[in-house]
């Protein structure tokens, strides 16, 4: 697999990098993305690919389940850097279909870390459980998981607004928060309201 990655880098150098040498030269001197993207680690949901963004346009933080932890040094550091130093204008939380983290909310496991982490999303499942009856068909199960994934985006936006830095930046109209949902089957990115 490592050889495959090096071959891919060669293709990148021979095409995109050479064709856009001046653009990449500018990036080598610094970055000024306008968006902080909080997305899932899922290998099928690459933010730059699904938005056709260029290198340097999106500052990305990915984790299992696109979670904004109530407290977490890693996340808080990314958030602080994005808002205070990069001066991003928009923060996106993006969920997606067929999310393993969302499926994991319904499963018992002997994993040591995953259940602890998913505790940051359990309220999304509970909200959907209050609204929807248990799924009885495969189609209903998919629809229910999609609804939990979208509810998780809403919940993570709520978590994000608990950070004093975000509260202030949003109050001062320096940032806008957005919830998005990516459907793997259709390739469509849509707002979560």
Q: Which residues are annotated as a binding site for Zn(2+)?
A: 40, 96, 99
- Rounded CA separation 121/9 (Å): 36
Burial of 101-123, coded b for 16+ CB within 10 Å and e otherwise, reads bbebbeeeeeeeebeebbebbee
Q: Which DSSP state fits 16?
A: I
Q: Which residues pair with 190 in a beta bridge?
A: 181
Residues forming the annotated binding site?
A: 40, 96, 99
- Rounded CA separation 159/142 (Å): 25
């Amino acid at each position: 697999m490592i050889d495959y990655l090096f071959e891919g880098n060669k293709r990148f150098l021979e095409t995109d990098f050479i064709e856009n040498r001046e653009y990449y030269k500018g990036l080598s001197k610094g970055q000024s993305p306008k968006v902080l993207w909080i997305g899932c680690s899922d290998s099928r949901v690459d933010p730059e690919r699904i938005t056709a963004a260029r290198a340097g346009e999106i500052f990305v933080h990915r984790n299992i389940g696109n979670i904004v932890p109530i407290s977490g040094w890693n996340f808080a550091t990314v958030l602080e850097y994005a808002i205070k130093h990069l001066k991003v204008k928009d923060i996106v939380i993006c969920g997606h279909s067929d999310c393993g983290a969302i499926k994991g909310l319904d499963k018992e496991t002997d994993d040591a870390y995953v259940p602890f982490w998913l505790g940051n999303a359990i309220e999304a499942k509970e909200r959907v459980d209050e609204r929807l009856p248990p799924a009885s068909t495969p189609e209903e199960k998919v629809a229910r998981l999609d609804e939990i994934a979208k509810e998780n985006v809403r919940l993570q936006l709520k978590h994000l607004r608990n950070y004093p830095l975000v509260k202030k930046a949003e109050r001062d109209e320096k940032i806008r928060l957005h919830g998005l949902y990516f459907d793997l089957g259709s390739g469509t990115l849509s707002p979560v309201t």
